[in-house]
Amino acid sequence: MLSSLERTLACWLLAGAILAGFLVPGLSEIFEPYKLESLFILIVMSLLPMGRMDVDAVFTLDSKVWKIVLWQLLGLPALVVAAAHLARIDMTITKLMVITASAGSLFASPTFAELLQVNKQRALQCMVLSTFLMPLSYFVFFTLVLHTKVNLDFADYVDRCLTFLIMPLGLFLVYMGISTSLPRKIADTIESVSRRSTIIALVIFGIGVVGPARDLMHTDFNHFLLYLVIVNALGIGMAYLTIVVMFRQGINDAMTASIVSGFRNVGLGMVLLTGVSGVHTAQYVGVSQIPIFLAPLALSLLMRKQRNSSFARVNQSLDELGSKQIAA
């Protein structure tokens, strides 16, 4: 586990990295050639710390997890497509919205769940399942639903799924098989290094993909704001709608489902959908990194404020109790 100081520094590093990507000329172009390699490393390193967990804690047939993921990958994209059709939204914007709505959960979703004190293990299970099922969602919505407007290169799509999903999964399963026989100190070191590598890989990938969005910000700020509004509105809307739909499962499970449904791995989606990606997709994905990179810091500051508030209330209660005892 990262220490409290390391987690705080990581949050500030991510926020600083995304701001630097947009504000420092030429920085994105330096990192752009390494974005695919960094994404592959990010996926593998995100999985390794789970190597010594029970298989059931990572891969599950729990009906609640499957309900959340099927809602996330089929229900929400269907609602997005229907709403876009009824509102007569431009097909380019509709495709971008579907790229978000059909993406798996963000790799950091379990961490967000932990920060918000909801079900971290269920968030982890949903993240893993949705990541490996997202190709199915993309296939359904980009070949069956939007087939008249989208030309998906199926062979290239399968090749990228094998590279960025199946291969990392295979490496993870190999590590899971040998991790129990490794000396504890070595396993601890591997997993500690993997957590730090995840942050570095995320920074490289994030800065590497924001170039088109930064150019858009300078050349067409209104369009940039439009993408930013869409990204945030989709995230908030899907999170809120999920709470409403899942509320009967209990507030804890509803909040967990909301987190994994609201925070999506759009960057991985863009890589898988290279065949239907264009300049608009690259710009949109770059803009989508802003809330993704700022969310950890925002949640960390929010939880710190709540903790400080709780400590203040406790101290106030102790002071009042002490005053009453003195008066008595």
Residue 163 lies in a domain: yes
**Mean pLDDT of the 130-141 span:** 88
pLDDT at site 267: 86
Phi, psi of 58 (to 5 degrees): -105, -50
Q: What is the pLDDT of residues 104-118, one digit of tens each?
A: 888 878 777 776 777
Number of domains in the chain: 1
State the average pLDDT over residues 182-195.
90
Runs of H (alpha helix) within 4-106: 4-23, 27-31, 35-47, 55-58, 63-70, 76-86, 91-101
Cβ within 8 Å of residue 305, ≥6 positions away? none
User: CA 260 to CA 118: how far, in whole Å?
Assistant: 12
- Answer yes or no: is 56 within a domain: yes
Radius of gyration over every alpha carbon of the chain, rounded to an integer in angstroms: 21
Q: Average the pLDDT over 89-95 and give the result.
A: 88
Q: For 161-186, what is each residue's pLDDT tens digit? A: 898 888 988 998 999 889 889 999 99
Is residue 305 included in any domain, yes or no?
yes
Does some domain include residue 1? no
CA 312 to chain centre: 33
Question: What is residue 323's predicted lDDT score, i.e. its pLDDT?
Answer: 58
* Domain containing residue 86: 29-327
What pLDDT sits at residue 118? Answer: 78
Q: Quick check: is 284 in a domain?
A: yes
pLDDT tens string 274-326 = 766 678 889 999 999 999 888 888 877 776 776 566 555 655 655 555 555 55
**CA distances to 44, 113, 170 from 311, in Å:** 39, 22, 46
> Out of 70-74, 82-86, 267-271, which region has the weakest mean confidence (pLDDT)?
267-271
More confident site: 255 or 57: 255
CA distances to 30, 67, 135, 313 from 270, in Å: 20, 25, 11, 46
Amino acid identity for residue 160 in this structure:
R
Express as a percent the part of the chain with pLDDT over 90. 35
Which of the two residues, 75 and 298, has the higher pLDDT score? 75
Q: Residue 38: which pLDDT band, with cuts at 50, 70 and 90?
A: very high
Residue 75 pLDDT greater than 90, yes or no: yes
Percentage of the chain surpassing pLDDT 70? 88
Count of all residues that appear for the chain in the document: 328
Contacts made by residues 144-149, CB under 8 angstroms, sequence distance 24+: 145/78, 145/81, 146/81, 146/91, 146/94, 146/95, 146/98, 149/91, 149/95
Q: How far apart are the first and last CA of the chain?
A: 48
Which CATH number is 302's domain given? Answer: 1.20.1530.20
Average pLDDT, whole number, for the chain? Answer: 85
pLDDT value of position 57: 75
Asked if the structure places residue 7 within a domain, the reply is: no
Quick check: helix, strand or coil at residue 105? strand
- At 178, list the tokens: 């040998």
> Is residue 62, in this structure, part of any structural domain at all?
yes
Distance in angstroms (rounded) separating the CA atoms of residues 21 and 208? 8
* Residue 49 clears pLDDT 60, i.e. is over it: yes
* Per-residue pLDDT at 277: 67
> Does residue 17 sit within a domain?
no
pLDDT, residue 207, reads 95
Q: What is the pLDDT of residues 215-273, one digit of tens each?
A: 999 999 999 999 999 999 999 999 999 999 988 888 888 888 898 998 898 888 888 88
